[in-house]
Amino acid sequence: MQSSHRVLQLRGGARLVAEPMPERHSTSVVLMFAGGSRLEEGGLGGVSHFIEHLFFKGTQRRPSSKEIADAIEGVGGFINASTDKELTAYWARVPSEHMDLAFDVLFDIVANSRLDEADVEKERMVILDELRGYQDQPQDLVQNLFEELIWPGHPLGRDIAGTEESVSRLTRDDILEYVYAHYRLPNLVVGAAGSLDVERTAGVVTRGLALRSDLDGELSSSTPDPLSAPRVLLRRRETEQAHICLGARALSYLDPDRYALDLLTTVLGEGMSSRLFLNIRERLGLAYDVHSFTQKHRDTGYLGIYIGVEPKKAVGAVNAALMELRALGETEVADDELARAKEFTKGRLRLELETTNGVAFWLTYQQLLLGQINTIDEELTLVDGVSAADIKRVAIQLLREPLQMSVVGPFARDGAFRIAIGA
């Protein structure tokens, strides 16, 4: 599988990653800024996400959100943005002949947004509604509580959108100051994938770069303190189902063992042939929804198991899930199961890279966070290189970490959950 991406250094420290995909009709472009919610110390919780919303409210040339949307949707394209814990991304996917327009709109919103006081107040109400909405969505709530347990007192453990308190307190000056400090060229990687010419794309991007090119200090945030003990966090809700997240700290995306962790998660709880699905749902009939997942950051990460279960079966499901997790640290995964997990992981990655959007994000993400780009073939080789012994070693390492568990459901007490994880 060929990869023909090129990385170009642009003026001011910005970088462009472009991959020609000449057979496609679309081109996807992304402006990805280092940063995100983990940099938000003190009372600034949620400011990155707030800014991402505000950038769609209007610029000098396109004074309303409708004009921003019309510019892209008027040619059949899509435009959106997302805030994550270590980055914020603005993207558009358009028919290839409209790539210049896509860049023009994206650079316009990040460099020329008006950030009016009235828009700040309106958007604050929208975000507060969004935050209150999470409280009514137990699946979101239980994951947020789990991340609070995994990274207590650290910005990584807080909802990307902030808290009701922090969002209520953010001022327009806080927002302007944050934009001024973080939306700078050295923090930017521009990505493009689709039917494009790299040299021409570099010219279009260079003309759009109107942001400041100096850095206002290092973009750094503290590493979370190690966890010393297992903990349970119960939020009582009179829900029909109990929602449970349990897991432990795991590897960062810079750790060479991250491929082993990905395969461990696949074997444990990704898809309908995973151990959690087959044993807890199919064989024991304990839970309707059970799966595992990981989150990885520069210096930390976690593996989590989600269980959606009838309350009276919750303790049984937790114990069964823990048995599956512990088994990975006791016995090596069999050859055929490992081979299946590798094909699953490699197949999912290849499917993800079917679209121009998938390729643009994948390349840009690697350049911004890892500082280098592995080709798809290199990634597939790294997955193939993982052995059953590697997975067992990673499982043993993970199981040395204190287990954490969040529970949302109709429970007055958490005693049995604490006993299950030794808390």
- By CB under 8 A, name the binding residues for other proteins: 311-316, 319, 411-413, 415-416, 419-420
Cβ atoms 187, 33 nearer than 8 A: yes
From 19, 23, 41, 52, active-site residue = 52
User: What's the closest the beta carbon of residue 285 comes to other proteins, in angstroms?
Assistant: 14
User: What's the closest the beta carbon of residue 146 comes to other proteins, in angstroms?
Assistant: 20
User: What's the closest the beta carbon of residue 142 comes to other proteins, in angstroms?
Assistant: 18
Alpha-carbon distance 85 to 49, whole Å? 10
Closer by beta carbon to other proteins, 371 or else 422: 422
Closer by beta carbon to other proteins, 263 or else 309: 309
Secondary structure of residue 75 in the 3-state scheme: coil
Cβ atoms 338, 383 nearer than 8 A: no
- Indicate the Cα dihedral angle 6, 9, 13, 19, nearest 10°: -20
Alpha-carbon distance 98 to 194, whole Å? 12
Which tokens belong to 314?
């919750």
97 is a catalytic site residue? no
Closer by beta carbon to other proteins, 271 or else 402: 402
Closer by beta carbon to other proteins, 11 or else 413: 413
User: Which phi and psi (to 5°) does residue 106 adopt?
Assistant: -65, -45
User: What's the closest the beta carbon of residue 308 comes to other proteins, in angstroms?
Assistant: 16
Closer by beta carbon to other proteins, 203 or else 410: 410
User: What's the closest the beta carbon of residue 314 comes to other proteins, in angstroms?
Assistant: 7
Cβ atoms 349, 381 nearer than 8 A: no
Alpha-carbon distance 316 to 286, whole Å? 7
User: What's the closest the beta carbon of residue 315 comes to other proteins, in angstroms?
Assistant: 4
Which single residue is written with the structure tokens 């997790």? 325
Secondary structure of residue 188 in the 3-state scheme: strand
User: What's the closest the beta carbon of residue 420 comes to other proteins, in angstroms?
Assistant: 7
User: Which phi and psi (to 5°) does residue 419 adopt?
Assistant: -60, -40
> Can you name the residues that pair with 7 across neighbouring β-strands?
17
Q: Which long-range contacts (CB under 8 A, 24 or more apart) does 80-84 make?
A: 81/52, 81/55, 81/56, 82/52, 83/36, 83/37, 83/48, 83/49, 83/52, 83/160, 83/161, 84/36, 84/37, 84/160
User: What's the closest the beta carbon of residue 319 comes to other proteins, in angstroms?
Assistant: 8
Closer by beta carbon to other proteins, 87 or else 317: 317
Cβ atoms 10, 209 nearer than 8 A: yes
Q: Is 306 exposed, middle or buried (0-12, 13-18, 19+ CB in 10 A)?
A: buried
DSSP code at position 227: P
Stated as kind and residue range, the H or E segment containing 9 is: strand 6-9
Closer by beta carbon to other proteins, 60 or else 319: 319
Alpha-carbon distance 246 to 231, whole Å? 10
Active site residues: 52
